[in-house]
Amino acid sequence: MLVHSIFFYFFSVIAIFSSLMVITSRNTVNSVFFLILDFISVGCLFIMVGAEFLGMIILIVYVGAVAVLFLFVVMMLNVAEQKQSWFIGKKSTHIPTGLIVSVLILLELLVVVGGWKYKDNVMSSSTLELSNISNTHQLGLVMYTDYILYFQLAGIILLLSMIGAILLTFRQRKGVKKQSYFNQISRNPSSSIELKEAEINKGVKIDD
Amino acid sequence: MFEYIQILGQEIYKILFVLVPILVSVAMIVWLDRRVWGLVQKRKGPNVVGPFGLLQTLADALKYIFKEIIIPASANKAVFVLAPIVTMTLALVAWAVIPMSEEFVLADINVGVLYLFAVSSLGVYGIIMGGWASNSKYPFLGAIRSAAQMVSYEVSIGIIIINVLLCVGSLNLKEIVLAQKDLWYVIPLFPMFVIFFISALAETNRPPFDLPEAEAELVAGYQTEYSGMMYAMFWLGEYANILLMCAMGSILFLGGWLPIIDLYPINLIPAPIWMIIKILFLFFLFALIKAIVPRYRYDQLMRLGWKIFLPFSLFYLVLTASFLFYFDKLPKGNF
């Protein structure tokens, strides 16, 4: 157990340190890098308690995709240096909003952790009784039987938000020339080359 | 306490036993790549240093070691130094789960495929970090390009992996190979194998998808400001990643360490040799593609990834699932 707890404290210290650095670092890109470090160490903690599937999914989804897009946006927006300090700023609107959000999150966490004590039929799934099956199988067995409705609802919400995001950024631009591979390949000299007689001082009108 | 140190020592010994051959084979593979490239173009390729020029890469590495490391004055130094280290570490760390035979695997974990997928999707960080920290236009453009490119092609690789997993019913790499005892998945899932191969080219920034380092437009992309040993680390990491993708392809589709047919004279060849032959075969295709295909334009690359590969692999996923369901061939699961 000694080695186990050494690893546990190693990862949790890194997780806490990096999450502190996320909110205190002046350079926004550095914040995102610390966020990535935080995700990775939380993923490692998941793996340490035996939830290897969840740990890997955190690595793939959060670190491999979400954080890349964060980094992408932060780099593109060129907000690397926070000129105006949040802490001594005179009329900063960040702190009240941030306080409200964090108090809400704290309350939610308290409700969840407190409510866990009064749970009765959360774990009553009939499929979970086989204890010697692997983590991933277990998750699948519960997710696609008892919680299929919530699973599908979550999927539909994700689909809707994806369609919404596409719709928000979609705009039809006029005059954009698009390449059609089929037309391009099926062209031949007899249909695409035309000889024209150019009159002096008049020229030839070429359609676009 | 002494016990732990002993275990630690044994583990380090095992890890070295995997890492050193990989580093050596990366050097050899660079030589093979340049050689195939040369022969396709009717040149000779590297043929001076050592027999057949085999030691060319070692000579190059020696040259890189003795060169000065230059860090641009306005670069973000910590991130700039970290970037090649991240690239190379991630490329090597993934080899922990690759089974070379039924016994010869460093870490036989339950979620091997997910681990491989996760590590290969982290590979983009080395490039983004390098490009951003250089504080220069061309590296930054290269990094932005590669971020979009690698994230896009990861999606289709993920769906291809799901295709294979549906047929196997396990995330363990060993189980995946053993499930192909009767039929390699390259036969029933041939279109997926082709898409996997092309996505692997894009994922490792190989030609024809080497836009992050397109020398005609971006000098050398994200590597522009790097020199000496740090450049060599990027380079090693890149080739270790390519080898990893080849290993992944041979495990998912070409039956890993299994012999081509289980007959008397052929199955005498030891399992790791088969694995190496398959990896080399895939790498040979990688090298050929580099020599014969011109570079894609960026919008064409995105179109291929999102409008062709993603819908097609989703369609094939539904097809595989329905086939397995209606013919009652779904894996029952071994629990």
- Kindly state whether B115 is in contact with chain A, defined as any CB-CB distance less than 8 angstroms: yes
High-pLDDT (> 70) share of chain A, %: 83
Q: How many CB pairs under 8 A join A and B?
A: 74
For the segment B266-272, the average pLDDT, to the nearest whole number, is 78
SS3 B71: coil
CA distances from B97 to B21, B87, B171 (A): 15, 18, 12
pTM (2 decimals)? 0.83
- Note which residues in 240-279 of chain B have CB less than 8 A from chain A: none
- Furthest-apart CA atoms within chain A: distance in Å: 95
Yes or no: domain A7-82 corresponds to CATH 1.20.120.1200: yes
Lowest mean pLDDT among A11-15, A26-30, B194-198, B306-310: A26-30
Q: Is the peptide bond before B139 cis (omega within 30 degrees of 0)?
A: no
Q: Which residue of A has its CA nearest to B113?
A: A56
- Kindly state whether B302 is in contact with chain A, defined as any CB-CB distance less than 8 angstroms: no
Residues 6+ apart with CB under 8 A from B74: B135
Q: Where are the domains of chain A?
A: 7-82, 132-168
Name every residue in A having a CB less than 8 A away from some CB of B.
2-3, 29-30, 33, 36, 52-53, 56-57, 59-60, 63-65, 68-69, 71-72, 75-76, 130, 132-137
CA distance B322 to B327: 8
pLDDT in tens, A62-74: 888 888 888 878 8
pLDDT in tens, B171-213: 888 888 888 888 888 888 889 999 999 999 888 888 888 877 7
CB contact at 8 A, B196 and B253: yes
Interchain pair B114, A65: CB under 8 A: no
Interchain pair A137, B335: CB under 8 A: yes
Q: Which residue of A has its CA nearest to B131?
A: A75
pLDDT in tens, A145-190: 888 899 999 999 999 999 999 899 888 888 887 778 888 888 888 8
Closest-CA distance, B118 to chain A, in angstroms, reads 5
A27 pairs with which residues across the strands?
A: A81
Q: Which residue's structure tokens are 């380092």?
A: B213
